[in-house]
Amino acid sequence: MTGYTLEECLKIDIFKFLTPESGMKVKQILEEELIFEQKGAPPGRIRIIEVTAYHKNGSIIWLELLPSFLRDEKGKPIGIVVVARDISDRKKTERLTAGHINELELLLKISTALRKANNIDEILPIFIDETLRLFNSEAGLVLLYNPKR
Q: What is the DSSP string of the chain?
A: --S--HHHHHHS-HHHHB-HHHHHHHHHHHHHHHHHHHTTPPTT----EEEEEE-TTS-EEEEEEEEEEEE-TTS-EEEEEEEEEE-HHHHHHHHHHHHHHHHHHHHHHHHHHHHH--SHHHHHHHHHHHHHHHTT-S--------TT-
What are residue 62's DSSP bridge partners? 52
pLDDT at 10: 80
Same domain assignment for residues 73 and 118? no
pLDDT at 148: 85
| 53 in Cβ contact with 18 (< 8 Å) | yes
- In the chain, which stretches have pLDDT less than 50? none
pLDDT at 44: 75
d(Cα 77, Cα 31) in Å, to the nearest integer? 13
- Structural domain count, the chain: 2
Domain that holds residue 115: 92-134
**Model confidence over 2-40: pLDDT tens digits?**
788 888 888 888 888 899 999 999 999 989 988 888 888
pLDDT at 7: 87
Same domain assignment for residues 122 and 58? no
Same domain assignment for residues 45 and 113? no
Same domain assignment for residues 22 and 76? yes
| 56 in Cβ contact with 3 (< 8 Å) | yes
Same domain assignment for residues 53 and 115? no
In a domain, 100, yes or no: yes
